[in-house]
């Protein structure tokens, strides 16, 4: 299925929060948690998106933020989208007692990860963070799956009034975890990595960069200094790889390849 | 010599080649536009076994290029319409410096929308320390009604001559087969004092998705690469070698050592590899080099020189 663009109909649309929708496609796409597709919105653009529902009626969960995602949010059941993928290296579950931190729409790959972990008989605690209560993603879904959930909101409308990283710090003091996963804003992930490292926890981070090809040839997504490609060797990297990145938490590159500091 | 190189000593000896003064440990070169916009990426490809690397085509200013989809796979090849996206020559020195740590020649690909732009970017790339320049002539000359440099002998001659006169490093012109007579263009390069040519760039192409009812590429039209363009590229190399005295670098659809041997037998002194990286990974350079060597051993060729032009007759 990785060959070419595969055009399919939208089968269902779920409004998750005020600004986030899940699109279920008429496509059976086996994939592992953390993998992504390139989603073509015909006539607009093509974007890398984490797969939030692998397998039957494959789904992606999308925050409305630019012209393309706005167009996507306006689309209806039966409309046509193009898919390339699945691509990228998945999260790899090796621990027994996991903790995952998802900020905002960063929950998209964390939810299938948690489901998979539980299916594999592991314990998982998920810290779900959002600006406010109405923007929290996949709380019910993960409750149903049997994950332990810690909620944080910036404004305190639900759960703890703090950032996910504060909740992580507190939780890790209990010392019962052996592996950490994170997806969300880069600054958050940078801190998660720092905290997890201090507690001796191996961590996997879901990296985001500007993508063009998605298949490891254009060079748009490479990380300094080793030249690893986020679209191919990533998007999920281990702490030992990330520690060698000069750009993580510092700069990204725009569509021209120019550095843009955070 | 990096560790793990197959058949260590013999490879270096058998596969060595030179092209316009650049010495290559093996005849595989990373093609322009493939992993070439960031220094650490070029260095990684060099360390993975490429005989030389070419940068992404760099222009005067940063350009974001076209909207996605910019690269798609089709039957027997790939289509791309990146739109000359690049970070601009002024900021590129740091990337070249890192690329050179790879220990192989770094060829700076450049483009311009006028002869003056080409000359200005060429000078800056020379200052950045590239070992040679490759002129991407597949771009429109804005001043002359948008005619592509690569499609008329006059424009080709003018730009190659101007760049040659302004720099002291070797100048390679990259040609397209999207022209009436690629040999005539190559001859114009030769007259202008060009040191070598690369043949060929992508071929104009389009993919329409019949369900969406529209072209897939953001720019609608793009360039075709991969196995499907190899026969066109081999013919171009063969004719240019026959009709001119220019050293030629073959490019278009090299995925295996056998593909490379075909180009070498047509008379190419080296080959570039582009989308083959998608099919076989960054290790493709070492793999192709090993396969060329294997072919040579199996068929009694003792050096690359014996292979180069063997099919010219
Ligand atoms: C994604 C992509 C970007 C490219 N960008 C450039 C470029 O900036 N300059 C250039 O001269 N050629 C560019 N090319 C063309 C390649 O250098 C090469 O000529 C072509 O792909 C044929 O070789 P291949 O079949 O080995 O890929 C690009 C090709 C691809 C696929
Ligand atoms: S997006 Fe093209 S190499 Fe990663």
pLDDT above 80: residue B12: no
Interval between CA B53 and ligand 2 midpoint (Å): 18
Q: List, for residues B34-57, the tens digit of each pLDDT value.
A: 999 999 999 999 999 999 999 999
- Locate the domains of chain A by residue range: 4-87, 97-261
CATH for B27-252? Answer: 3.20.20.70
- Compare CB distances from A218 to B64, B71, B211 and report the shortest one's residue: B71
Question: How far is A162 from chain B, CA to nearest CA, in Å?
Answer: 37
pLDDT above 50: residue B11: no
At residue A262, the pLDDT reads 85
Position B4 confidence tier, pLDDT thresholds 50, 70, 90: very low
Q: List, for residues A202-232, the tens digit of each pLDDT value.
A: 999 999 999 999 999 999 999 999 999 999 9
* CA angle, residues A95, A108, A237, in degrees to nearest 5: 50
Interval between CA A98 and ligand 1 midpoint (Å): 44
Residue B37 and residue A257: Cβ atoms within 8 Å?
A: yes
Interval between CA A122 and ligand 1 midpoint (Å): 46
- Compare CB distances from B64 to A38, A44, A254 and report the shortest one's residue: A254
- Active-site residue, from B139, B189, B194, B251: B139
pLDDT above 80: residue A130: yes
Residue A256 and residue B87: Cβ atoms within 8 Å?
A: yes
Q: List, for residues B301-311, the tens digit of each pLDDT value.
A: 999 999 999 99
Q: Is B275 helix (H, G, I), strand (E, B) or coil?
A: coil
Residue A219 and residue B36: Cβ atoms within 8 Å?
A: yes
Ligand nearest the Cα atom of residue B275: 1
Chain A contact for B228 (CB, 8 A cutoff) = no
CATH for A4-87? Answer: 2.40.30.10
Residue B82: CB within 6 Å of ligand 1?
yes
Question: How far is A72 from chain B, CA to nearest CA, in Å?
Answer: 15
Q: Where are the alpha helices (DSSP H) in chain A?
A: 67-74, 107-119, 139-145, 164-172, 186-198, 239-242
Interval between CA A192 and ligand 1 midpoint (Å): 39
Residue A150 makes CB contacts below 8 A (sequence gap 6+) with A125, A126, A127, A128, A159, A160, A167, A171
Position B109 confidence tier, pLDDT thresholds 50, 70, 90: very high
Chain A contact for B91 (CB, 8 A cutoff) = yes
* Statement: A97-261 belongs to CATH 3.40.50.80: yes
Chain B residues within an 8 Å CB radius of A241: none
Measured distance CA(B248)–CA(B264) in Å, rounded: 9
Rounded to the nearest integer, the mean pLDDT of chain A is 96
Q: What is the percent of chain A with per-residue pLDDT over 70, rounded to a whole number?
A: 99
Lowest mean pLDDT among A59-63, A141-145, B98-102, B176-180: B176-180
Measured distance CA(B249)–CA(B194) in Å, rounded: 13
The count of C-alpha atoms lying within 13 angstroms of the C-alpha of B93, restricted to the half-sphere facing its C-beta, is: 7
pLDDT above 70: residue B7: no
- Is the interface score ipTM higher than 0.85? yes
At residue B63, the pLDDT reads 96
At residue B9, the pLDDT reads 46
Position B139 confidence tier, pLDDT thresholds 50, 70, 90: confident
Chain B residues within an 8 Å CB radius of A218: 33-35, 37, 70-71, 80, 82
pLDDT above 80: residue B2: no
Residue A255 and residue B42: Cβ atoms within 8 Å?
A: no
pLDDT above 90: residue B141: no
Q: What is the percent of chain B with per-residue pLDDT over 90, rounded to a whole number?
A: 90
Position B145 confidence tier, pLDDT thresholds 50, 70, 90: low
Chain A contact for B147 (CB, 8 A cutoff) = no
């Amino acid at each position: 299925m990785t060959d070419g663009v595969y055009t399919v109909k939208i089968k269902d649309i779920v409004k998750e929060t005020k600004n986030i929708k899940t699109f279920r496609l008429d496509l059976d796409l086996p994939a592992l948690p953390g993998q992504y597709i390139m989603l073509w919105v015909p006539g607009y653009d093509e974007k890398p998106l984490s797969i939030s529902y692998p397998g039957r009626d494959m789904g992606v969960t999308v925050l409305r933020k630019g012209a393309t995602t706005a167009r996507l949010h306006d689309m209806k059941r039966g409309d046509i989208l193009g898919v390339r993928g699945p691509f990228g290296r998945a999260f790899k579950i090796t621990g027994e007692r996991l903790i995952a931190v998802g900020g905002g729409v960063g929950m998209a790959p964390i939810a299938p990860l948690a489901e998979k972990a539980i299916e594999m008989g592991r314990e998982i605690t998920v810290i779900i963070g959002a600006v406010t209560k109405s923007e929290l993603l996949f709380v019910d879904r993960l409750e149903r799956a049997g994950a332990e959930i810690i909620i944080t909101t910036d404004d305190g409308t639900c759960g703890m009034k703090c950032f996910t990283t504060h909740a992580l710090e507190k939780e890790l003091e209990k010392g019962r975890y052996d592996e950490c996963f994170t997806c969300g804003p880069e600054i958050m992930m940078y801190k998660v990595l720092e905290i997890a490292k201090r507690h001796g926890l191996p961590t996997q981070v879901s990296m985001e960069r500007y993508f063009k090809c998605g298949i490891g040839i254009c060079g748009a997504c490479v990380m300094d200094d080793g030249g690893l490609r986020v679209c191919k060797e990533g998007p999920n990297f281990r702490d030992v790889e990330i520690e060698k990145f000069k750009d993580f938490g510092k700069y990204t590159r725009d569509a021209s390849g120019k550095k843009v500091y955070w | 010599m990096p560790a793990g190189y197959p058949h260590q000593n013999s490879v270096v000896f058998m596969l060595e080649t030179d092209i316009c003064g650049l010495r290559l440990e093996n005849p595989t070169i990373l093609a322009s536009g493939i992993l070439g916009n960031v220094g650490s990426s070029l260095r990684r490809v060099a360390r993975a076994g490429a005989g030389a690397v070419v940068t992404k085509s760099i222009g005067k200013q940063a350009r974001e290029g076209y909207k996605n989809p910019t690269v798609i796979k089709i039957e027997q090849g790939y289509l791309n319409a990146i739109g000359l996206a690049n970070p601009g020559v002024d900021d590129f020195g740091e990337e070249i410096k890192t690329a050179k740590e790879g220990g192989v020649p770094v060829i700076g690909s450049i483009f311009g929308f006028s002869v003056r732009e080409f000359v200005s970017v060429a000078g800056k790339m020379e200052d950045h320390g590239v070992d040679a320049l490759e002129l991407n002539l597949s771009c429109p000359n804005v001043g002359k009604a948008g005619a592509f440099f690569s499609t008329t002998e006059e424009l080709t001659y003018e730009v190659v001559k101007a760049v040659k006169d302004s720099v002291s490093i070797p100048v390679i012109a990259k040609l397209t087969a999207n022209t009436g007579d690629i040999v005539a263009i190559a001859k114009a390069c030769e007259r202008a004092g060009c040191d070598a040519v690369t043949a060929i760039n992508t071929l104009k192409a389009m993919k329409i998705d019949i369900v969406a009812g529209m072209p897939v590429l953001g720019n609608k039209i793009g360039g075709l690469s991969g196995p499907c363009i190899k026969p066109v590229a081999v013919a171009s190399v063969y004719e240019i070698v026959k009709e001119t005295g220019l050293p030629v670098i073959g490019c278009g659809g090299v995925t295996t050592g056998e593909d490379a041997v075909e180009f070498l037998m047509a008379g190419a002194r080296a080959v570039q590899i582009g989308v083959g990286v998608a099919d076989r990974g960054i290790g493709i350079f070492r793999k192709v080099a090993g396969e060329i060597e294997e072919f040579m051993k199996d068929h009694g060729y003792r050096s690359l020189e014996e292979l180069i032009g063997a099919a010219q007759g």
